[in-house]
Amino acid sequence: MKTIFVPLDFSDVTAPQLELMQTHLPDGPCRVILAHVHHAEAPLDNATSIEVDREYATVERGQLAEAVQRTRSNLATREEVVVESMFCSGPVSATLLSIIDVEKVDLVVMGTHGHGRLFSLVMGSVAEALLRKSQVPVLFVPPIKDA
């Protein structure tokens, strides 16, 4: 069974990312892992920042659940496809690389956000880390072009 790993950040690239994954899904039994890695934006050194971080995490969990539900619905005719979700906390790049290794991923479907210098500024360390260190193929999906 092939395992397709789709890290989500719930940005404007998430929709094309999921669409491409569904369109190019391998034939036969397949495992799809939709994942989000929560990373604290600020040091969690006081009650307020901890509470804000908790609220962010709750929102992200809801977005992940929605993405999983939508994907399962879209793939309802593919009974041999299993859609799983994974919500993790920690350093994003290292966590994603660890999931790729532990879950024996065959293909990563990764969104990109920008072009040129924005690549390193916006997409930055996460995509670069996957590009440089992933031991499995990574499919980079650009955002939908403006009309």
Partner 1 sequence: MYHILAALTHHSSSISVYRMARDLAKSLGANLHLVHVLEPSEDEETELDWIHNLASSVRMDEHRVHSNVITSSSAAAGILHEATRIHADMLVIGRDMEGSSSRVEAVVAAAHCTVLVVPADTPKSAAKPEAITMGASA
Binding site for partner 1 (CB under 8 A): 2, 20, 22-27, 75, 77-78, 106-107, 112, 114-116, 118-120, 123, 127-128, 131-132, 134-142, 145
Q: Which is nearer to partner 1, 91 or 142 (CB)?
A: 142
Which of 37, 35, 33 is closest to 56 using CA atoms?
37
Q: Other C-beta atoms within 10 Å of 67: how many?
A: 21
Q: Shortest gap between Cβ of 43 and partner 1 (angstroms)?
A: 30
Q: 45 vs 79, which CB is nearer to partner 1? A: 79
Under 8 Å between Cβ of 8 and 14: yes
Question: Closest separation between CB of residue 3 and partner 1, Å?
Answer: 10
Nearer to partner 1, 16 or 91 (CB): 16
Question: Minimum CB separation from partner 1 for residue 35, in Å?
Answer: 19
User: Given the complex with partner 1, which of 91 and 143 has the nearer CB atom?
Assistant: 143
Tell me the DSSP string of 42-64.
Answer: S---SHHHHHHHHHHHHHHHHHH
Phi, psi of 108 (to 5 degrees): -110, 135
